[in-house]
């Protein structure tokens, strides 16, 4: 079953509670929350206080994607704010193994994100500690960018690694996902699709969630 995670980066920040209700009613599985620090990526978005304010507004799984340097500093804050899945970037977490254990110790599911240039092997020896690998199919920092098709073989490589190790790690794909690009990533082995502009830009969000979830079927 393919899970759909709309990214609130493409929502209207002035009406966030309403925008979240909209995708929950549209049948989304997760709410993807992009956290940016202006250092790891050139953009600045939101932090723990906003996540904490949104928590009582929604029963969706909060899938928090940290695009910040030294993310271990904020694990406790995001746990307290109500994150369910906390994903850190391989490129930003110097002691990745320790950080993944810290995330789980705080009762959250642990994720690792890989930038387009980062090889899949970087997670090989920590995979049993990883509940979700997030494969970036754009360079992180902004919504609405063009999908990078050269990353697709990396998803297939990670799927083989997950099977070889017999772990239940989810493979999430983030960046430029729409009904045109989704089938290729699902065929390669992705089972969680982040979609920002595709869902928030759609006239009918529920229909878009359905179309994305059906990607790769048949
Ligand atoms: C990019 C973010 C993505 C972004 C996706 O740095 O991690 O989650 O919001 O937006 P779309 O789906 O528009 O590429
Ligand atoms: Zn993201």
Q: Domain boundaries in the chain?
A: 3-213
State the Cα–Cα distance between residues 206 and 94, nearest whole angstrom. 40
CA of 32 to the centre of ligand 2 (A): 6
State the Cα–Cα distance between residues 123 and 164, nearest whole angstrom. 13
Q: Is the pLDDT assigned to residue 126 strictly greater than 80?
A: yes
| Ligand 1 close to Cβ of residue 10 (< 6 A) | yes
| Ligand 1 close to Cβ of residue 140 (< 6 A) | yes
State the Cα–Cα distance between residues 164 and 103, nearest whole angstrom. 25
**CATH superfamily of the domain spanning 3-213:** Aldolase class I (3.20.20.70)
pLDDT, average across residues 107-120? 99
With a CB cutoff of 8 Å and minimum separation 6, the contacts of 31 are 5, 6, 8, 20, 23, 24, 54, 58, 60, 61, 62, 63
- How does pLDDT run across 40-76, given as a tens digit for each residue? 999 999 999 999 999 999 999 999 999 999 999 999 9
Q: Is position 63 annotated as part of the catalytic site?
A: no
Q: Is the pLDDT assigned to residue 216 strictly greater than 90?
A: no
pLDDT-derived band at 217 (thresholds 50, 70, 90) equals: confident
> What's the pLDDT score for residue 39?
98
| Ligand 1 close to Cβ of residue 137 (< 6 A) | no
Closest ligand to Cα 8: 1
Token pair of 164, please? 């070889």
- How does pLDDT run across 128-160, given as a tens digit for each residue? 999 999 999 999 999 999 999 999 999 999 999
Half-sphere exposure of 211 (CA within 13 A, CB side): 15
Q: Is position 34 annotated as part of the catalytic site?
A: yes
pLDDT-derived band at 5 (thresholds 50, 70, 90) equals: very high
Ligand 1 atom nearest 199 alpha carbon? 12
Percentage of the chain lying above the pLDDT 90 cut: 98
Q: Is the pLDDT assigned to residue 218 strictly greater than 60?
A: no
pLDDT, average across residues 9-21? 97
| Ligand 1 close to Cβ of residue 48 (< 6 A) | no
pLDDT-derived band at 4 (thresholds 50, 70, 90) equals: very high
95 is in an annotated binding site: no
Q: Is the pLDDT assigned to residue 35 strictly greater than 70?
A: yes
**Average pLDDT along the chain:** 97
Q: Is 66 left (phi over 0), alpha (psi -120 to 50) or beta?
A: beta
Kindly name the residue from 29, 37, 131, 174 that is annotated as catalytic.
Answer: 174
* Contact call for residues 81 and 49 (beta carbons, < 8 A): yes
């Amino acid at each position: 079953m393919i899970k759909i995670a709309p990214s609130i980066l493409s929502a209207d920040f002035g009406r966030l509670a309403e925008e979240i209700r909209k995708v929950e009613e549209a049948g989304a599985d997760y709410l993807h929350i992009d956290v940016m620090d202006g250092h790891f990526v050139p953009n600045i978005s939101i932090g723990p206080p906003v996540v904490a304010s949104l928590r009582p507004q929604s029963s969706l799984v909060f899938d928090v994607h940290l695009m910040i340097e030294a993310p271990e500093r904020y694990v406790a804050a995001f746990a307290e704010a109500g994150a369910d899945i906390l994903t850190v970037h391989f490129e930003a977490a110097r002691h990745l193994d320790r950080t993944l254990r810290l995330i789980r110790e705080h009762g959250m599911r642990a994720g690792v994100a890989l930038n387009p240039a980062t090889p899949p092997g970087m997670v090989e020896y920590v995979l049993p500690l990883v509940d979700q690998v997030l494969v970036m199919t754009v360079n992180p920092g902004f919504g609405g960018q063009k999908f990078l098709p050269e990353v697709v073989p990396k998803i297939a490589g990670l799927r083989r690694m997950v099977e070889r190790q017999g772990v239940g790690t989810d493979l999430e794909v983030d960046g430029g996902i729409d009904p045109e690009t989704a089938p290729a990533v699902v065929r390669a082995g992705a089972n969680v699709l982040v979609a920002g502009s595709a869902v928030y830009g759609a006239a009918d969000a529920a229909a878009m969630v359905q179309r994305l979830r059906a990607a790769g079927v048949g």
